[in-house]
Structure 1
Amino acid sequence: MSDLATAHKPVRVMLWGLPRSLTTVLAKCLSYVDGIYVINEAFASAMTTGPEKEIQNAQGLESFMGNAATIADANVEVQCWEDSICTFQWVKDTMEADYPGKKIIFCKDIVTSISNHLDMIPHGYRHTFIIRHPTKTFLSLRKVFIQNFLPPGIPSDQFQLDVAMESGLKRENTFKIIADLVKHLKEQGEESCPVIVDADDLQNHTASILRQYCEAVGIPYNESLLQWEAGDDIIKKNWYVSKTFMVGNTIGNYYGAALSSTKFNPASEPPSTSEIPQDVVRLSEQAMPYYEELYEMRLKP
């Protein structure tokens, strides 16, 4: 770390994950490291709200983000970018830019947002991943969709997450996208040994997993990272985010649990199959082979 600091080159870390996989909680935790600068979901912003957005026929999501984007006078205290500049090339350039005085550039993003733009993967980063049991991931994502993005005219009991993901976002087997990106990074020489964290391990063995993660990527670790302050003060201090995403959070509170968190709470067990909606069952069955493959490569407690 000292050699890098002397050369004025920050450590650069990329965290890839799926929505509802504790990416925001992990980013908030690491936000307390001295000299860190967090770029939050810039590729996801390009995919959903930027001029090159890829949303098709996802009326509920489009409507929600459209409403967020029109609230021009929103009081957003975090450093934000506007949708109009957020192309995929702008994201790449922003991630590769110089940040004088910063020791660590930490970029957290949604893995599905880069799958059609692999040439935009930023150089100079350690690439890391967080995975979560598919049933937990999709149950939580389904809840968020129903609360915020339910298409007009569709009762919540008739909503099908797999249909919404495939028809609107053109993303069906999201865990395959993670496995494919890990393979791509290895083949291209961008990352010979991607660091993979399982969310349950992080929750149940926080000190062990967090220490290993920090050591693997060059982030200083100390036990103060095991607990932090509730609220978004640290986000206001050193995050760079989409204005639409932050305004959207004031409407839908999808970052709410993460921003109010003070530590990693113990993980719960996945519910029994009989308690899981069939759309989540279908998605989980498709995802499990890829999740199990990635799980074998994870940091071990």
Structure 2
Amino acid sequence: MSSDVQLTPHTAGNLVDTRSTAQDHHLPGAGRDGPRRVFLWSIPRSRSTVFVKCMSFVENVQVWYEPYLYSYHNELLTHPDSDREQMEREAREGLERMRPILEQTPRGRGYHWRQFRYDWVKSQLEADEYGKDLIFVKDSAFAIDGHYRSLPSNKAFQYTFIIRDPRNMFLSYKNAFMNEVGELERETFNIVNDVDVYPSDELYKKSYKLWKFVIEQTGRFPVVIDGDELATYPDILLPKYFRMIGIPFKESYLRWERHHDVIRTWKTSYEAIVACTQNGWITQAAHSSAFSRPLQTPPNSDELPDDIRYCVDQSMPYYRAMYRHRLKV
């Protein structure tokens, strides 16, 4: 039995959080006509974008980058608890600031940011892709929470996950947000109270919930890879990952072109991807040419700021549960 998931409207709407009786895990999906289809479900700052850039150089691949996340952002604009006028104003102001860069940046395969809706993404991922051997979709696990019915139901996808030690993840997460706030706000900035677009203290919980859903649907543990371990041992873990998803591995995949032109081949939000390559969120990953070994081990929890320590405490049980089933070195 594989860890591929072909959801029906019935199964997609019923999450059952029970223990699987599967005795083994990490099996690639069964062969089928057409390209292999793989999800990489991530948490923020898990080295997932570096992973995506690596996968962009696989032969005959089509990358989708965060289509459900951008659907999530657009849904916030219509949520009854959202300040729609303020969010629309901020979006317009952001686009205006970016206009000179956007005018100089080729659109490639990017879509207008307002195109992204859950039902539209579902239809796109269910569509046939001709001339491709692999459809690789990287997305944020929390963004699909409450929208399992919008997952593809007429194509079998293999679901894989990337995680990272919450201590390292939340340090990076807070630093990314700090780049977007003013100098006066930085001293008091709190990732729980001041981040209104992401559920900071529930990111791992929502990833775990999706992971359990896949186990329930397939009877198998899906492939899980730890981002820091991947960055430390890419020569060991990347071939294992390729074997699990049924794609031939080449040594050349361990290094790739530093220039970020390949991003233009991604199907994603054009405006968002340009912004993210400029504002620090994925700048380093976009210009990467290989996996970079982590510079330090995770700090002790008592050394962390209060907001990060709170999120770590909320997240660690879910991380450890998934980490036990990761691809091992």
What TM-score comes out, normalization by structure 2 length? Answer: 0.81
The 3 A distance-change label for structure 1 pair 107 and 101 is same
Comparing 251-260 with 55-64, which one deviates more in the overlay? 55-64
The 3 A distance-change label for structure 1 pair 60 and 290 is farther
The 3 A distance-change label for structure 1 pair 59 and 142 is farther
CA contact (8 A) 2:41 2:139 kept: yes
The 3 A distance-change label for structure 1 pair 28 and 19 is same
Comparing 242-251 with 154-163, which one deviates more in the overlay? 242-251
Return the letter of the residue paired with 2:255.
Answer: Q
Q: Which residue of 1 aligns with 2:168?
A: 136
CA contact (8 A) 2:302 2:309 kept: no
- CA distance, structure 1, for counterparts of residue 72 and residue 49 of structure 2: 18
The 3 A distance-change label for structure 1 pair 28 and 250 is closer
Q: Which residue of 1 aligns with 2:93?
A: 67
Provide the alpha-carbon RMSD of the alignment.
2.8
Give the gaps of 5 or more residues in structure 1. Answer: none
CA contact (8 A) 1:81 1:241 kept: yes
Give the gaps of 5 or more residues in structure 2. Answer: 1-27
Match for 2:72 among 38, 44, 47? 47
Q: Which residue of 1 aligns with 2:315?
A: 287
TM-superposed CA distance for 1:99, in Å, is: 1.1
Q: Describe the superposition over 1:12-47 as per-residue Cα deviations: whole angstroms up to 9, x where unpaired.
A: 000000111111100100111110010000001111
The 3 A distance-change label for structure 1 pair 248 and 280 is same
Does 2:189 align with 1:159?
yes
TM-superposed CA distance for 1:103, in Å, is: 0.8
Q: Which residue of 2 aligns with 1:19?
A: 44
Does 2:245 align with 1:213?
no
Does 2:157 align with 1:125?
yes
TM-superposed CA distance for 1:83, in Å, is: 2.4
TM-superposed CA distance for 1:251, in Å, is: 4.0
CA contact (8 A) 2:113 2:272 kept: no
- CA distance, structure 2, for counterparts of residue 82 and residue 246 of structure 1: 11
Return the letter of the residue paired with 1:133.
Answer: D
Q: Which residue of 1 aligns with 2:257?
A: 229
Give % identity: 29
Q: How many residues align?
A: 293
Does 2:66 align with 1:36?
no
CA contact (8 A) 1:139 1:280 kept: yes
What TM-score comes out, normalization by structure 1 length? Answer: 0.88
The 3 A distance-change label for structure 1 pair 153 and 262 is closer
